[in-house]
């Protein structure tokens, strides 16, 4: 069936309609927060060229809760239209995949489990296959395996990260306690526990081995990542339906951080499994052009479970499925920013398999990683899985970008627009207009950015160890030596020269003891995790 064009006339000029699916990453993201950031920065980039005449429309909902602080928005709330340099108009319709509300609420038990998980991550057992079986059983390819040297390098880097996390956590708590004793309250320090739980907890949430046991109805009997994929796939199907109905010309998927893993999973999901994520009403409303029948055997333990309205008894061994070729017919590109997919491919390869089904020409997949972004990396572990073109139908291209001077902002500043210099969003504009994606310009030499990153990590770790050692010394000696309340002795220790000499002489041994204790703790946690996972999963 020939797809009807959506290009419509506005006076004497055409309007090309494009969809953008945005997927946020880790953290306490509010509904539409990430969508709003991308849409507003797109408008700022477009406004650099007045000839584009950008205009944004908001689509408000017709209902809202009583006494609400904000107006309600529709599921696809933002439309950005601008004049294309070659003639005509482009209109971008934004949809968001929001999943931050699926986090597990923080409790002391979950907080302790997260700490143990983080300290023992270097002992993780490679997750080569899940309960549904190995990827090859479903016509998929696992990421490339690691060599012995690569495994050692990965585990060594994870060990250092765990050690850094331990020093940061202990120093944070000791400093907070000291400040509380002198009646000082710093909001940032007091909120650090929640910040760590929300960011690090999201990674644990997505790779968790067990189904959730809480009373969240959306995740009953399922792992959290299944519920997150469901939201991603539902938006994909809705957008593809718009293309099939002739209301949209094509669409892109923009994902950040951990959201890139959810987006990749959805794009790689099998035709049989895709149907499992939809509700009965969504399946019934799906046009026949996006459905098909397949004779593949159903998995013994599908994720999610096969719903009862699929595979009627009279089907004769033919199973309901979604046609991936039609589903991705309108896909124009996949953009991943700050992606940890390389970490998942190394540690949990069974979570990120590559689909081998041919879906036509490979669509561009642009992976941008800031050189100082400790979460991101080059995606070199994903194979060409034939007969699919490229990586599961995607032509992967890695871009290393040196855009930030600070390691602290590298992961969160991809979309930022600068008035006088071009950045990533300026390249995205040209891509949306039909051009080839150009590498965003570097702010500094990539080698300099890597050096800054290494020095920041070394200095940061040193400051954490020094701060912890200093705090321990103060607690153990200052009150006794000065014979005054802690609030006064704390200041006295910093100003009395003789005490500072004694303090300096005692500090280096204290640092040595602390580093040694930290190494032992992380080693014990890593070994314990490896033993537990081997016993549990074989």
- CB-based contacts of 455, cutoff 8 Å, min separation 6: none
Structural tokens at position 392:
């599961």
How many Cβ atoms are within 10 Å of 24's Cβ, its own excluded?
A: 26
Check: CB of residue 373 under 8 Å from CB of residue 410.
Answer: yes
Beta strands of 430-470 (E only): which ranges?
none
Return the sign of the alpha-carbon dihedral for residues 285, 232, 54, 88.
negative
Q: How far apart are CA 263 and CA 266, in angstroms?
A: 5
Q: What pLDDT score was predicted for residue 2? A: 47
Going by C-alpha positions, the residue among 92, 102, 99, 82 that lies closest to residue 21 is 92
Q: Per this entry, what is the length of the chain?
A: 538
Q: How far apart are CA 508 and CA 494, in angstroms?
A: 17
Write down the pTM of the prediction.
Answer: 0.89
- CB-based contacts of 315, cutoff 8 Å, min separation 6: 293
User: pLDDT truncated to tens, each residue of the chain (538 aa)?
Assistant: 444 445 555 455 789 999 999 999 988 888 899 999 999 999 999 999 989 999 999 988 877 777 777 777 888 889 999 999 888 999 999 999 999 999 888 888 888 999 999 999 998 887 665 555 566 766 788 898 888 898 888 899 899 989 988 888 888 887 787 777 766 777 777 778 888 888 888 888 898 888 888 888 888 888 999 999 999 999 999 999 999 999 999 999 999 999 999 999 999 999 999 999 999 999 999 999 999 998 887 777 788 889 988 876 555 678 899 999 999 999 999 999 999 999 999 888 889 999 998 888 899 999 999 999 989 989 999 988 888 888 999 999 999 999 998 888 899 999 999 988 999 999 999 999 999 999 999 999 989 999 998 898 888 888 877 777 776 666 666 555 544 455 455 555 555 545 556 666 666 777 788 888 999 999 999 999 989 888 877 6
Q: How far is C-alpha 95 from the chain's CA centre?
A: 17
Q: What pLDDT score was predicted for residue 62? A: 77
Instruction: Give me Rg for the CA atoms of the chain.
Output: 26
Query: pLDDT tens across 223-270, in order?
Result: 999 999 999 999 999 999 999 999 999 999 999 999 999 999 999 999
How many Cβ atoms are within 10 Å of 99's Cβ, its own excluded?
A: 25
Structural tokens at position 277:
């994520």
183 — alpha (psi -120 to 50), left (phi > 0) or beta?
A: left
DSSP 3-state of 74: strand
Structural tokens at position 284:
């019934």
Name the helix (H) or strand (E) containing 8: strand 8-10
The bridge status of strand 55-60 relative to strand 73-83 is antiparallel
Q: What angle do CA 425, 232, 270 make, to 5 degrees?
A: 115
The alpha helices in 182-208, defined as continuous H runs, are 187-190, 192-207
Going by C-alpha positions, the residue among 249, 323, 317 that lies closest to residue 288 is 323
DSSP of 236-248? HHHHHHHHHTTS-
- CB-based contacts of 390, cutoff 8 Å, min separation 6: 362, 363, 365, 384, 396
DSSP 3-state of 200: helix
DSSP state of 133: B
Going by C-alpha positions, the residue among 267, 305, 7 that lies closest to residue 132 is 305
Q: What pLDDT score was predicted for residue 142? A: 86
Check: CB of residue 393 under 8 Å from CB of residue 363.
Answer: yes
Check: CB of residue 127 under 8 Å from CB of residue 350.
Answer: yes
Q: What pLDDT score was predicted for residue 367? A: 97
Q: What pLDDT score was predicted for residue 265? A: 95
How many Cβ atoms are within 10 Å of 156's Cβ, its own excluded?
A: 11
What structural domains does the chain harbor?
A: 14-63+71-103+220-444 (3.40.50)
- CB-based contacts of 493, cutoff 8 Å, min separation 6: 474, 478, 482, 499, 500, 503
> Quick one: 346 exposed, middle or buried, by C-beta within 10 A (0-12, 13-18, 19+)?
buried
Query: pLDDT tens across 337-380, in order?
Result: 999 999 999 888 889 999 998 888 899 999 999 999 989 989 99
């Amino acid at each position: 069936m020939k797809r009807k064009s959506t290009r419509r006339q506005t006076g004497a000029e055409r309007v090309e309609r494009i969809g953008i699916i945005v997927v946020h990453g880790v953290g306490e993201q509010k509904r539409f927060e990430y969508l709003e950031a991308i849409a507003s920065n797109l408008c700022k980039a477009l406004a650099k060229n007045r000839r584009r005449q950008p205009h944004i429309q908001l689509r408000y909902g017709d209902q809202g809760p009583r006494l609400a602080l904000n107006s309600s928005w529709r599921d696809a709330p933002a439309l950005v239209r601008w004049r294309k340099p070659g003639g005509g108009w482009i209109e971008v319709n934004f949809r968001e995949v929001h999943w931050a509300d699926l986090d597990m609420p923080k409790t002391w038990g979950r907080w302790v489990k997260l700490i143990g998980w983080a300290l023992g991550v270097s002992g993780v057992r490679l997750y080569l296959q899940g309960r549904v079986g190995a990827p090859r059983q479903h016509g998929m390819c696992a990421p490339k395996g690691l060599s012995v040297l690569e495994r050692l390098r990965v585990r060594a880097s994870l060990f250092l990260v765990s050690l850094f996390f331990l020093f940061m956590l202990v120093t944070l708590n000791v400093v907070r306690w000291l400040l509380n004793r002198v009646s000082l309250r710093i909001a940032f320090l007091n909120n650090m526990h929640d910040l760590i739980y929300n960011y690090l907890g999201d990674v644990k949430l997505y790779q968790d081995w067990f189904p959730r046991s809480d009373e969240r109805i959306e995740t009953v009997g399922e792992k959290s990542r299944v519920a997150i994929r469901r939201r991603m796939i539902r938006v994909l199907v809705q957008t593809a339906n718009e293309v099939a109905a002739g209301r949209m010309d094509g669409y892109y998927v923009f994902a950040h951080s951990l959201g890139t893993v959810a987006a990749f999973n959805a794009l790689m999901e099998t035709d049989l499994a895709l149907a499992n994520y939809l509700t009965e009403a969504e399946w019934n409303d799906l046009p026949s052009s996006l459905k098909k029948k397949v004779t593949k055997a159903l998995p013994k333990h599908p994720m999610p479970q096969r719903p009862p309205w699929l595979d009627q008894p009279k089907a004769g061994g033919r199973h309901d499925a979604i046609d991936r070729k039609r589903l991705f017919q309108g896909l124009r590109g996949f953009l991943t920013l700050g992606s940890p997919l390389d970490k998942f491919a190394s540690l949990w390869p069974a979570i990120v398999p590559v689909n081998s089904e041919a879906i036509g020409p490979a669509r561009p997949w642009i992976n941008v990683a800031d050189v100082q972004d400790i979460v991101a990396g080059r995606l070199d572990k994903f194979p060409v899985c034939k007969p699919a073109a490229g990586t599961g139908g995607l032509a992967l291209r890695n871009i290393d970008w040196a855009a930030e001077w600070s390691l602290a902002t590298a992961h969160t500043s991809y979309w930022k627009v600068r008035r006088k210099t071009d950045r990533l969003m300026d390249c995205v504009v040209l891509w949306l207009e039909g051009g080839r994606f150009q590498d965003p310009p570097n702010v500094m030499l990539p080698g300099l950015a890597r050096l800054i990153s290494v020095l920041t990590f070394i200095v940061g770790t040193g400051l954490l160890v020094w701060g912890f050692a200093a705090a321990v010394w103060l607690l153990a000696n200052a009150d006794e030596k000065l014979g005054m309340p802690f609030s006064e002795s704390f200041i006295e220790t910093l100003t009395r020269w003789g005490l500072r000499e004694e303090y300096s002489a005692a500090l280096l041994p204290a640092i040595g003891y602390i580093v040694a204790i930290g190494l032992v703790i992380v080693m014990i946690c890593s070994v314990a995790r490896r033993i537990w996972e081997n016993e549990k999963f074989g």
